[in-house]
Structure 1
Protein backbone atom coordinates (compact mmCIF):
# COMPACT_ATOMS: atom_id res chain seq x y z
CA UNK A 1 0.00 0.00 0.00
CA UNK A 2 2.79 2.40 0.90
CA UNK A 3 4.52 2.10 -2.50
CA UNK A 4 1.21 3.00 -4.21
CA UNK A 5 0.78 6.04 -1.98
CA UNK A 6 4.36 7.05 -2.72
CA UNK A 7 3.77 6.65 -6.46
CA UNK A 8 0.55 8.65 -6.20
CA UNK A 9 2.39 11.46 -4.42
CA UNK A 10 5.06 11.46 -7.12
CA UNK A 11 2.39 11.65 -9.84
CA UNK A 12 0.58 14.46 -8.03
CA UNK A 13 3.86 16.33 -7.65
CA UNK A 14 4.66 15.85 -11.34
CA UNK A 15 1.19 17.02 -12.38
CA UNK A 16 1.45 20.08 -10.18
CA UNK A 17 4.85 20.99 -11.60
CA UNK A 18 3.56 20.53 -15.14
CA UNK A 19 0.48 22.64 -14.39
CA UNK A 20 2.64 25.48 -13.07
CA UNK A 21 4.88 25.55 -16.12
CA UNK A 22 3.87 28.47 -18.32
CA UNK A 23 4.35 29.02 -22.00
CA UNK A 24 6.02 32.17 -23.27
CA UNK A 25 2.65 33.42 -24.52
CA UNK A 26 1.13 32.93 -21.05
CA UNK A 27 4.06 34.68 -19.36
CA UNK A 28 3.76 37.66 -21.70
CA UNK A 29 0.01 37.94 -21.13
CA UNK A 30 0.36 37.73 -17.35
CA UNK A 31 3.19 40.24 -17.25
CA UNK A 32 1.09 42.73 -19.19
CA UNK A 33 -1.75 42.29 -16.67
CA UNK A 34 0.45 42.48 -13.55
CA UNK A 35 0.26 45.67 -11.49
CA UNK A 36 3.87 45.19 -10.38
CA UNK A 37 5.78 43.35 -13.09
CA UNK A 38 9.17 43.05 -11.34
CA UNK A 39 7.52 41.65 -8.20
CA UNK A 40 5.51 39.19 -10.32
CA UNK A 41 8.68 38.00 -12.06
CA UNK A 42 10.48 37.62 -8.74
CA UNK A 43 7.78 36.01 -6.59
CA UNK A 44 5.53 34.17 -9.05
CA UNK A 45 7.65 33.33 -12.09
CA UNK A 46 10.82 33.12 -10.00
CA UNK A 47 12.86 34.26 -12.96
CA UNK A 48 15.94 36.46 -13.05
CA UNK A 49 15.45 39.98 -14.41
CA UNK A 50 17.35 43.23 -14.96
CA UNK A 51 15.94 46.77 -15.17
CA UNK A 52 17.77 49.20 -17.47
CA UNK A 53 17.41 52.93 -18.08
CA UNK A 54 17.58 53.50 -21.83
CA UNK A 55 18.65 56.89 -23.22
CA UNK A 56 17.14 57.63 -26.64
CA UNK A 57 19.73 59.81 -28.38
CA UNK A 58 17.92 60.20 -31.68
CA UNK A 59 14.50 59.41 -33.11
CA UNK A 60 15.52 58.77 -36.72
CA UNK A 61 18.38 56.32 -36.32
CA UNK A 62 18.75 53.87 -33.45
CA UNK A 63 21.89 52.23 -32.10
CA UNK A 64 20.17 48.89 -31.51
CA UNK A 65 17.12 47.09 -30.19
CA UNK A 66 16.99 48.72 -26.71
CA UNK A 67 16.64 52.34 -27.84
CA UNK A 68 14.41 51.37 -30.78
CA UNK A 69 12.03 49.55 -28.41
CA UNK A 70 12.42 52.32 -25.85
CA UNK A 71 11.17 54.86 -28.37
CA UNK A 72 8.61 52.88 -30.38
CA UNK A 73 7.48 50.42 -27.72
CA UNK A 74 4.26 50.79 -25.74
CA UNK A 75 4.43 51.11 -21.94
CA UNK A 76 3.37 47.82 -20.34
CA UNK A 77 3.77 45.81 -23.53
CA UNK A 78 6.02 42.73 -23.46
CA UNK A 79 8.20 42.09 -26.53
CA UNK A 80 10.18 39.07 -27.62
CA UNK A 81 11.43 36.55 -27.01
CA UNK A 82 14.92 37.64 -28.10
CA UNK A 83 18.38 36.05 -27.81
CA UNK A 84 17.26 32.71 -29.23
CA UNK A 85 14.13 32.60 -27.10
CA UNK A 86 15.89 33.39 -23.82
CA UNK A 87 14.79 36.97 -23.09
CA UNK A 88 11.56 38.97 -22.88
CA UNK A 89 11.52 42.76 -22.74
CA UNK A 90 8.86 44.93 -21.09
CA UNK A 91 8.69 48.72 -21.24
CA UNK A 92 7.90 49.83 -17.68
CA UNK A 93 7.83 53.62 -18.15
CA UNK A 94 8.89 56.49 -20.40
CA UNK A 95 10.06 60.04 -19.72
CA UNK A 96 10.35 63.04 -22.05
CA UNK A 97 13.43 64.90 -23.24
CA UNK A 98 14.09 67.83 -25.56
CA UNK A 99 15.24 67.14 -29.11
CA UNK A 100 16.82 69.36 -31.78
CA UNK A 101 16.43 68.79 -35.51
CA UNK A 102 19.48 69.94 -37.46
CA UNK A 103 21.43 69.39 -40.65
CA UNK A 104 25.21 69.60 -40.81
CA UNK A 105 28.09 70.00 -43.25
CA UNK A 106 31.33 69.12 -41.47
CA UNK A 107 34.82 70.08 -42.64
CA UNK A 108 37.57 68.17 -40.83
CA UNK A 109 40.54 70.43 -40.03
CA UNK A 110 42.86 67.43 -39.84
CA UNK A 111 42.35 67.32 -43.62
CA UNK A 112 41.83 71.02 -44.46
CA UNK A 113 43.83 73.88 -42.95
CA UNK A 114 41.72 76.24 -40.85
CA UNK A 115 42.14 78.98 -43.46
CA UNK A 116 40.94 76.78 -46.33
CA UNK A 117 38.08 75.35 -44.25
CA UNK A 118 36.94 78.85 -43.29
CA UNK A 119 37.11 80.14 -46.86
CA UNK A 120 35.28 77.08 -48.23
CA UNK A 121 32.61 77.39 -45.55
CA UNK A 122 31.95 81.04 -46.36
CA UNK A 123 31.66 80.16 -50.05
CA UNK A 124 29.25 77.28 -49.35
CA UNK A 125 27.04 79.42 -47.10
CA UNK A 126 26.99 82.27 -49.62
CA UNK A 127 25.95 79.96 -52.46
CA UNK A 128 23.17 78.43 -50.33
CA UNK A 129 21.84 81.85 -49.29
CA UNK A 130 21.94 83.11 -52.88
CA UNK A 131 19.98 80.07 -54.02
CA UNK A 132 22.57 78.83 -56.53
CA UNK A 133 22.79 75.52 -54.69
CA UNK A 134 21.11 73.72 -51.78
CA UNK A 135 22.27 72.70 -48.34
CA UNK A 136 21.54 69.08 -49.28
CA UNK A 137 23.76 69.22 -52.39
CA UNK A 138 26.61 70.83 -50.47
CA UNK A 139 26.34 68.22 -47.71
CA UNK A 140 26.63 65.43 -50.26
CA UNK A 141 29.58 67.13 -51.95
CA UNK A 142 31.61 68.31 -48.96
CA UNK A 143 30.54 66.91 -45.59
CA UNK A 144 33.12 64.65 -43.97
CA UNK A 145 31.09 63.52 -40.94
CA UNK A 146 29.16 60.67 -42.52
CA UNK A 147 25.95 62.68 -42.92
CA UNK A 148 26.47 63.01 -46.68
CA UNK A 149 24.36 59.85 -47.00
CA UNK A 150 21.38 61.69 -45.46
CA UNK A 151 22.05 64.95 -47.34
CA UNK A 152 23.21 66.51 -44.08
CA UNK A 153 20.10 65.72 -42.05
CA UNK A 154 21.05 64.44 -38.57
CA UNK A 155 17.42 63.89 -37.60
CA UNK A 156 16.01 64.68 -34.15
CA UNK A 157 18.90 64.52 -31.67
CA UNK A 158 18.40 64.61 -27.89
CA UNK A 159 19.64 67.74 -26.14
CA UNK A 160 22.92 67.01 -24.42
CA UNK A 161 24.34 64.70 -27.06
CA UNK A 162 25.45 67.40 -29.52
CA UNK A 163 28.69 69.36 -29.14
CA UNK A 164 28.04 72.04 -26.44
CA UNK A 165 29.02 74.95 -28.71
CA UNK A 166 26.45 73.85 -31.27
CA UNK A 167 23.67 73.42 -28.70
CA UNK A 168 24.40 76.82 -27.16
CA UNK A 169 24.14 78.51 -30.55
CA UNK A 170 20.98 76.57 -31.47
CA UNK A 171 19.19 78.03 -28.45
CA UNK A 172 19.72 81.50 -29.91
CA UNK A 173 18.71 80.65 -33.45
CA UNK A 174 15.37 80.41 -35.21
CA UNK A 175 14.10 77.75 -37.58
CA UNK A 176 15.85 77.91 -40.97
CA UNK A 177 18.98 79.72 -39.76
CA UNK A 178 22.36 78.63 -41.15
CA UNK A 179 25.53 79.31 -39.15
CA UNK A 180 29.06 78.03 -38.67
CA UNK A 181 30.70 76.77 -35.49
CA UNK A 182 34.35 76.01 -34.84
CA UNK A 183 35.07 73.04 -32.56
CA UNK A 184 38.15 70.99 -31.72
CA UNK A 185 37.18 68.62 -34.54
CA UNK A 186 36.78 71.16 -37.30
CA UNK A 187 34.24 73.53 -38.82
CA UNK A 188 30.52 72.79 -38.73
CA UNK A 189 27.93 74.44 -40.98
CA UNK A 190 24.62 73.98 -39.17
CA UNK A 191 21.06 74.50 -40.35
CA UNK A 192 18.31 74.56 -37.74
CA UNK A 193 15.60 72.57 -39.47
CA UNK A 194 12.90 72.83 -36.78
CA UNK A 195 12.22 74.34 -33.40
CA UNK A 196 13.12 72.11 -30.45
CA UNK A 197 10.42 69.67 -29.32
CA UNK A 198 9.63 67.29 -26.48
CA UNK A 199 9.59 63.57 -27.26
CA UNK A 200 10.31 60.20 -25.62
CA UNK A 201 13.87 60.56 -24.33
CA UNK A 202 14.16 57.86 -21.69
CA UNK A 203 12.66 54.43 -21.12
CA UNK A 204 12.69 52.10 -18.13
CA UNK A 205 13.02 48.60 -19.53
CA UNK A 206 12.88 45.20 -17.81
CA UNK A 207 14.64 42.18 -19.31
CA UNK A 208 13.30 38.83 -18.11
CA UNK A 209 15.52 35.78 -18.55
CA UNK A 210 13.46 32.70 -19.34
Structure 2
Protein backbone atom coordinates (compact mmCIF):
# COMPACT_ATOMS: atom_id res chain seq x y z
CA UNK A 1 0.00 0.00 0.00
CA UNK A 2 1.46 3.30 -1.10
CA UNK A 3 1.42 6.19 1.37
CA UNK A 4 0.45 9.51 -0.26
CA UNK A 5 3.33 11.93 -0.61
CA UNK A 6 1.51 14.56 1.47
CA UNK A 7 1.17 12.12 4.36
CA UNK A 8 4.87 11.28 4.15
CA UNK A 9 5.76 14.93 4.24
CA UNK A 10 3.56 15.52 7.26
CA UNK A 11 5.14 12.55 9.05
CA UNK A 12 8.60 14.03 8.45
CA UNK A 13 7.69 17.43 9.84
CA UNK A 14 9.38 18.65 13.01
CA UNK A 15 7.20 18.89 16.13
CA UNK A 16 6.79 22.67 15.84
CA UNK A 17 5.21 22.30 12.41
CA UNK A 18 2.92 19.56 13.71
CA UNK A 19 1.90 21.91 16.50
CA UNK A 20 1.08 24.64 14.00
CA UNK A 21 -1.46 22.32 12.35
CA UNK A 22 -3.27 21.66 15.61
CA UNK A 23 -6.19 23.72 16.83
CA UNK A 24 -5.90 25.70 20.05
CA UNK A 25 -8.31 23.25 21.69
CA UNK A 26 -6.03 20.33 20.75
CA UNK A 27 -2.95 22.14 22.05
CA UNK A 28 -4.70 22.85 25.36
CA UNK A 29 -5.76 19.22 25.70
CA UNK A 30 -2.23 17.99 24.91
CA UNK A 31 -0.67 20.29 27.52
CA UNK A 32 -3.14 19.09 30.16
CA UNK A 33 -2.48 15.42 29.31
CA UNK A 34 1.28 15.85 29.36
CA UNK A 35 1.48 16.15 33.14
CA UNK A 36 4.38 18.61 32.78
CA UNK A 37 3.25 21.75 31.02
CA UNK A 38 6.56 23.66 30.93
CA UNK A 39 8.50 20.66 29.58
CA UNK A 40 5.87 19.90 26.95
CA UNK A 41 5.75 23.52 25.79
CA UNK A 42 9.54 23.72 25.67
CA UNK A 43 10.40 20.41 24.02
CA UNK A 44 7.32 19.52 21.97
CA UNK A 45 5.57 22.74 21.09
CA UNK A 46 8.82 24.74 20.97
CA UNK A 47 6.97 27.79 22.23
CA UNK A 48 8.13 30.57 24.52
CA UNK A 49 6.67 30.62 28.01
CA UNK A 50 6.94 32.41 31.37
CA UNK A 51 6.16 31.11 34.84
CA UNK A 52 4.64 33.74 37.13
CA UNK A 53 3.98 33.65 40.87
CA UNK A 54 0.63 35.26 41.67
CA UNK A 55 -0.03 36.43 45.23
CA UNK A 56 -3.72 36.46 46.14
CA UNK A 57 -4.34 39.44 48.41
CA UNK A 58 -8.11 39.27 48.63
CA UNK A 59 -10.77 36.80 47.56
CA UNK A 60 -13.30 39.59 47.08
CA UNK A 61 -11.30 42.14 45.11
CA UNK A 62 -9.06 40.88 42.31
CA UNK A 63 -6.49 43.04 40.55
CA UNK A 64 -7.15 41.89 37.00
CA UNK A 65 -7.62 38.61 35.12
CA UNK A 66 -4.42 36.88 36.37
CA UNK A 67 -5.49 37.21 40.02
CA UNK A 68 -9.04 36.03 39.38
CA UNK A 69 -7.92 33.16 37.16
CA UNK A 70 -5.22 32.12 39.64
CA UNK A 71 -7.71 31.92 42.51
CA UNK A 72 -10.67 30.36 40.71
CA UNK A 73 -8.79 28.21 38.20
CA UNK A 74 -8.17 24.46 38.58
CA UNK A 75 -4.64 23.10 38.92
CA UNK A 76 -3.53 21.51 35.64
CA UNK A 77 -6.23 23.19 33.58
CA UNK A 78 -5.25 25.32 30.57
CA UNK A 79 -7.28 28.49 29.96
CA UNK A 80 -7.51 30.90 27.09
CA UNK A 81 -6.59 31.99 24.55
CA UNK A 82 -6.13 35.57 25.78
CA UNK A 83 -4.55 38.71 24.30
CA UNK A 84 -6.15 38.29 20.91
CA UNK A 85 -5.52 34.56 20.72
CA UNK A 86 -1.79 34.84 21.47
CA UNK A 87 -1.57 33.48 25.03
CA UNK A 88 -2.66 30.39 26.96
CA UNK A 89 -2.47 30.06 30.74
CA UNK A 90 -2.07 26.90 32.81
CA UNK A 91 -2.43 26.72 36.60
CA UNK A 92 0.64 24.78 37.75
CA UNK A 93 0.31 24.77 41.55
CA UNK A 94 -1.34 26.47 44.51
CA UNK A 95 -0.07 27.02 48.05
CA UNK A 96 -2.15 28.12 51.05
CA UNK A 97 -1.88 31.14 53.28
CA UNK A 98 -3.96 32.52 56.14
CA UNK A 99 -6.89 34.81 55.36
CA UNK A 100 -8.87 37.05 57.72
CA UNK A 101 -12.47 38.16 57.18
CA UNK A 102 -12.99 41.59 58.76
CA UNK A 103 -15.74 44.16 58.51
CA UNK A 104 -14.81 47.84 58.74
CA UNK A 105 -16.34 51.24 59.38
CA UNK A 106 -13.69 53.87 58.62
CA UNK A 107 -13.84 57.49 59.76
CA UNK A 108 -11.29 59.67 57.99
CA UNK A 109 -9.53 62.25 60.21
CA UNK A 110 -8.48 64.26 57.19
CA UNK A 111 -12.19 65.15 56.96
CA UNK A 112 -13.23 65.16 60.62
CA UNK A 113 -11.30 66.25 63.69
CA UNK A 114 -9.88 63.49 65.87
CA UNK A 115 -12.17 64.53 68.71
CA UNK A 116 -15.27 64.27 66.52
CA UNK A 117 -14.11 60.99 64.96
CA UNK A 118 -13.49 59.53 68.42
CA UNK A 119 -16.91 60.57 69.67
CA UNK A 120 -18.65 59.34 66.53
CA UNK A 121 -16.89 55.96 66.60
CA UNK A 122 -17.85 55.44 70.26
CA UNK A 123 -21.47 56.29 69.46
CA UNK A 124 -21.51 53.88 66.51
CA UNK A 125 -20.10 51.04 68.61
CA UNK A 126 -22.57 51.79 71.40
CA UNK A 127 -25.54 51.71 69.03
CA UNK A 128 -24.43 48.44 67.45
CA UNK A 129 -23.84 46.72 70.81
CA UNK A 130 -27.19 47.96 72.12
CA UNK A 131 -28.96 46.50 69.07
CA UNK A 132 -30.19 49.93 67.97
CA UNK A 133 -28.43 49.57 64.62
CA UNK A 134 -26.61 46.87 62.70
CA UNK A 135 -22.94 46.96 61.74
CA UNK A 136 -24.02 46.88 58.10
CA UNK A 137 -26.32 49.90 58.51
CA UNK A 138 -23.61 51.91 60.24
CA UNK A 139 -21.08 51.00 57.55
CA UNK A 140 -23.39 52.17 54.77
CA UNK A 141 -24.14 55.40 56.65
CA UNK A 142 -20.78 56.40 58.08
CA UNK A 143 -17.88 54.49 56.53
CA UNK A 144 -15.67 56.69 54.37
CA UNK A 145 -13.91 53.82 52.60
CA UNK A 146 -14.93 51.70 49.63
CA UNK A 147 -16.37 49.12 52.03
CA UNK A 148 -19.44 51.32 52.49
CA UNK A 149 -20.69 49.78 49.24
CA UNK A 150 -20.30 46.25 50.63
CA UNK A 151 -22.02 46.89 53.99
CA UNK A 152 -18.60 47.12 55.63
CA UNK A 153 -17.48 43.68 54.44
CA UNK A 154 -13.80 43.74 53.39
CA UNK A 155 -13.91 40.14 52.21
CA UNK A 156 -11.23 37.55 52.92
CA UNK A 157 -7.88 39.37 53.08
CA UNK A 158 -4.51 37.56 53.11
CA UNK A 159 -2.29 37.98 56.14
CA UNK A 160 0.26 40.71 55.50
CA UNK A 161 -2.06 42.92 53.46
CA UNK A 162 -3.84 44.73 56.26
CA UNK A 163 -2.37 47.22 58.72
CA UNK A 164 -0.25 45.27 61.25
CA UNK A 165 -2.10 46.66 64.27
CA UNK A 166 -5.43 45.52 62.82
CA UNK A 167 -4.10 42.03 62.04
CA UNK A 168 -2.70 41.68 65.56
CA UNK A 169 -6.01 42.70 67.08
CA UNK A 170 -7.91 40.28 64.85
CA UNK A 171 -5.62 37.44 65.95
CA UNK A 172 -6.62 38.06 69.58
CA UNK A 173 -10.35 38.17 68.82
CA UNK A 174 -13.01 35.60 68.15
CA UNK A 175 -15.79 35.69 65.56
CA UNK A 176 -18.24 38.51 66.22
CA UNK A 177 -15.89 40.65 68.34
CA UNK A 178 -15.73 44.38 67.55
CA UNK A 179 -13.05 46.92 68.39
CA UNK A 180 -11.62 50.21 67.18
CA UNK A 181 -8.09 50.97 66.05
CA UNK A 182 -6.45 54.33 65.43
CA UNK A 183 -4.06 54.74 62.50
CA UNK A 184 -2.50 57.75 60.79
CA UNK A 185 -5.52 57.82 58.46
CA UNK A 186 -8.26 57.84 61.06
CA UNK A 187 -10.25 55.48 63.23
CA UNK A 188 -11.24 52.00 62.11
CA UNK A 189 -14.14 50.15 63.71
CA UNK A 190 -13.40 46.50 63.00
CA UNK A 191 -15.60 43.44 63.41
CA UNK A 192 -14.28 39.90 63.01
CA UNK A 193 -16.86 38.37 60.68
CA UNK A 194 -15.38 34.85 60.60
CA UNK A 195 -12.56 32.87 62.11
CA UNK A 196 -9.35 32.91 60.07
CA UNK A 197 -8.93 30.21 57.44
CA UNK A 198 -6.41 28.74 55.02
CA UNK A 199 -7.04 29.39 51.33
CA UNK A 200 -5.17 29.70 48.03
CA UNK A 201 -2.57 32.40 48.59
CA UNK A 202 0.24 31.68 46.14
CA UNK A 203 -0.31 30.37 42.63
CA UNK A 204 2.13 29.39 39.87
CA UNK A 205 0.90 30.34 36.39
CA UNK A 206 2.41 29.11 33.13
CA UNK A 207 1.93 31.64 30.35
CA UNK A 208 2.37 30.16 26.87
CA UNK A 209 2.92 32.40 23.85
CA UNK A 210 1.40 30.86 20.72
Calculate the TM-score normalised by the size of structure 1: 0.91
Q: Distance in 2 between matches of 1:160 and 1:118?
A: 27
Describe the superposition over 1:147-168 as per-residue Cα deviations: whole angstroms up to 9, x where unpaired.
1100100111111101101001
Gaps of 5+ in 1: 1-7
> Distance between the aligned counterparts of 2:194 and 2:130, measured in 1?
21
For the residues of structure 2 that align with 1:97 and 1:45, how far apart are their CA atoms?
Answer: 34
- Do the aligned partners of residues 13 and 199 (structure 1) sit closer, same or farther apart at CA in structure 2, a change above 3 Å counting? closer
Are 2:23 and 1:16 aligned?
Answer: no
Alignment of 1:181-200 (within 5 A): 181-200=181-200
Aligned-residue RMSD, C-alpha: 1.8
Change (3 A) 1:39 1:56: same
Question: Displacement, 1:104?
Answer: 0.2
CA contact (8 A) 2:19 2:27 kept: no
Task: Give the drift of 1:19.
Answer: 4.3
1:154 aligns with 2:154: yes
Deviations 1:112-138 (A, max 9, x none): 111110000000000000011111111
CA distance in 2, matches of 1:15, 1:97: 49
Cα drift, residue 36 of structure 1: 1.9
Partner of residue 137, structure 1: 137
1:88 corresponds to? 88
- C-alpha separation in 2, matches of 1:189 and 1:45: 54
Instruction: Tell me by how many angstroms 1:20 deviates.
Output: 4.5
Aligned residues: 202
1:33-67, CA deviations, whole angstroms, 9 ceiling, x for partnerless residues? 11321111111111111100001111122121111
TM-score w.r.t. the length of structure 2 is 0.91
What is the alpha-carbon distance in structure 2 between the residues aligned to residue 113 and residue 78 of structure 1?
53
Distance 1:128 1:15 in 2: 76
Bigger mean CA deviation after superposition, 94-103 or 33-42: 33-42
Q: Which residue number corresponds to residue 203 of structure 2?
A: 203
Alignment of 1:59-74 (within 5 A): 59-74=59-74
**Which residue of 2 is the match for residue 4 of structure 1?**
none
Aligned residue in 1 for 2:111: 111
